[in-house]
């Protein structure tokens, strides 16, 4: 997605050869017009997947997911990082964040993911795939079907994309980064 790549080149900050900060339009400040364009693009790429629900993780996944849900006309569930006191017996999965060097739990209420649901997962970043595997686990626990996964930015030099594609999952990433070496963003061809 060319407009996204241009924005990353203009405003992305390379913190280390592993970490790209996009706080100016995705992770802290949001550009709603860009996010709508992202939603349109995901809707186009998954148009033939016949999904009826989108699943994401709070907080940075919510904006791209809700725009995609708007474009596809389907509801969005965001998995929570903390179990609310009013949520009984949720589906639970573990995530390891390599950036934050810690583990956390994500939960989803049973009433919103059902057997028969065809689910599209949307998230901001694909790195090692830990969050994606946790979303996939929530879907499996519900007896629902994972129809595809869409990521705004894929760090293709980490293993997540390979892992998910090797499992036969339909993965679409709007900007695939080959390397952040030398303080330069290099996109995959």
- Told to check if 133 binds a copy of itself by CB under 8 A, we report no
- Told to check if 75 binds a copy of itself by CB under 8 A, we report yes
- By CB under 8 A, the residues from 87 to 116 that bind a copy of itself are 87, 100, 108-109, 111-112
- By CB under 8 A, the residues from 7 to 36 that bind a copy of itself are 15, 19, 21, 23-25, 28-33, 35-36
171, 164 Cβ separation under 8 angstroms: yes
- Told to check if 67 binds a copy of itself by CB under 8 A, we report yes
38, 1 Cβ separation under 8 angstroms: yes
20, 180 Cβ separation under 8 angstroms: yes
Burial environment of residue 14 by CB neighbours within 10 A (0 to 12, 13 to 18, 19 or more) = middle
Q: Closest by alpha carbon to 133, among 169, 172, 98?
A: 169
In whole angstroms, the minimum distance from the beta carbon of 65 to a copy of itself comes to 8
Q: Which is nearer to a copy of itself, 90 or 161 (by Cβ)?
A: 90
User: Where do contacts with a copy of itself occur on this chain (CB under 8 A)?
Assistant: 15, 19, 21, 23-25, 28-33, 35-36, 58-59, 62-63, 65-67, 69-70, 73-78, 80, 85-87, 100, 108-109, 111-112
């Amino acid at each position: 997605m060319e407009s996204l790549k241009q924005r990353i080149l203009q405003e992305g900050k390379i913190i280390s050869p592993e970490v790209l900060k996009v706080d100016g339009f995705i992770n802290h400040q949001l550009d709603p017009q860009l996010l709508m364009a992202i939603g349109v693009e995901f809707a186009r790429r998954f148009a033939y997947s016949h999904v009826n629900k989108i699943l994401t993780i709070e907080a940075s996944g919510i904006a791209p997911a809700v725009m995609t849900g708007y474009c596809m006309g389907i509801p969005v569930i965001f998995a929570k990082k903390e179990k609310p006191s009013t949520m009984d017996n949720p589906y639970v999965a573990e995530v390891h964040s390599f950036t934050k060097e810690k583990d956390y739990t994500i939960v989803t209420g049973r009433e919103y993911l059902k057997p028969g649901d065809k689910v599209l997962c949307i998230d901001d970043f694909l790195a090692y795939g830990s969050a994606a595997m946790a979303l996939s686990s929530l879907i499996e626990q519900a007896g629902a079907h994972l129809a595809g996964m869409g990521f705004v930015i894929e760090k293709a030099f980490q293993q997540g994309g390979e892992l998910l594609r090797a499992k036969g999952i339909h993965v679409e990433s709007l900007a695939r980064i080959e390397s952040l070496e030398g303080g330069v963003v290099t996109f995959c061809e």
